[in-house]
Structure 1
Amino acid sequence: MDCHVEILSFSITFAFALYSCFNHFGEILTKEADIEAHRSEVLNFTHIQVIDQRARLLDRSAITVTRVSLKGTLGADSIEDEMGYARVWQNIGGKMKIISGHCSSAM
């Protein structure tokens, strides 16, 4: 979990300005809501397999597009799905941080 927290910019807005994200339900999450879903285990992944990943390096940033196979739980429901994640990374203070993101079903 700490790794998840460290790579997220404090000003992030997935799919907006600096750290919020669109999740696969179409909801906009703040960094805090995203982290809390994992920390509280409302969202708990038991298996993550990267199927495909592509990266495009820019001047002081990068874009990644990743397709993964996930297993786990969301609340009381089991999940098993392929998901697509797009992330925009920016060099902030010498470290690459996610500043924007999007998640959707890949099936």
Structure 2
Amino acid sequence: MTTALNTADEAAIQQCEERLRTAMLNSDVEALDALLANDLIFIDHQGRRIEKAQDLEAHRSGVLALEQIDVLDSIIRPLGNAVLVSLRVRFTGTYYGEKFSEKLAFTRVWSRTADDWAVTLAHCSRITM
């Protein structure tokens, strides 16, 4: 059953999404650690299942360095005690020293924690059209 997302929750999720975008751009591992649930499941654009520690290490080590994240559009929907965010973005940066720029579609599930919200599930796919 879908319930109405109250304005405060929607604003909180929009702020969380912006904090996540900024943390990714700055490879701010401390901020990412706070925004990602400990039991995070992330399916990347190549279908690999990545856990929180792996995601943090990619930023900590410099393997992934993002230069730009442009949000093209987004949808926020309530899911009981969680919130679904669907967005399309253009990512630009380097991965293992190789430059890249691509459009990706993300789906994230934000769950309420004792203190804030955290991403518990994320999936991304390349946009090829």
Establish whether TM, by shorter chain, passes 0.5.
yes
- Percent identical residues: 27
**Structure 2 unpaired stretches of 5+:** 1-27
- What are structure 1's unaligned runs of at least 5 residues? 12-18
Aligned equivalents of 2:100, 2:117: Cα separation in 1: 30
Distance 1:26 1:58 in 2: 24
- Calculate the aligned-residue CA RMSD, in Å: 1.1
Q: TM-score, with normalisation over the residues of structure 2?
A: 0.73
Question: Secondary structure, in 3 states, of the residue corresponding to 1:9?
Answer: strand
Greater C-alpha radius of gyration: 2
Aligned-residue offset at 1:60: 1.6
Q: Which runs of 4+ in 1 moved over 4 A?
A: none
Superimposed CA distance per residue, residues 8-45 of structure 1 (whole angstroms, 9 cap, x where no aligned partner): 1112xxxxxxx121111111101000111111110110
More helix by share: 2
Scaled by the length of structure 1, what TM-score is found? Answer: 0.87
Q: Tell me whether 1:54 sits opposite 2:75 in the alignment.
A: yes
Aligned residues: 100
Residues 1:67 and 2:88 aligned together: yes
Higher RCO by CA contacts (8 Å cutoff, separation 6 or greater): 1
**C-alpha separation in 2, matches of 1:3 and 1:49:** 19
Equivalent of 1:86 in 99, 107, 110: 107
Equivalent position of 2:59 in the other structure: 38
Bigger strand share? 1
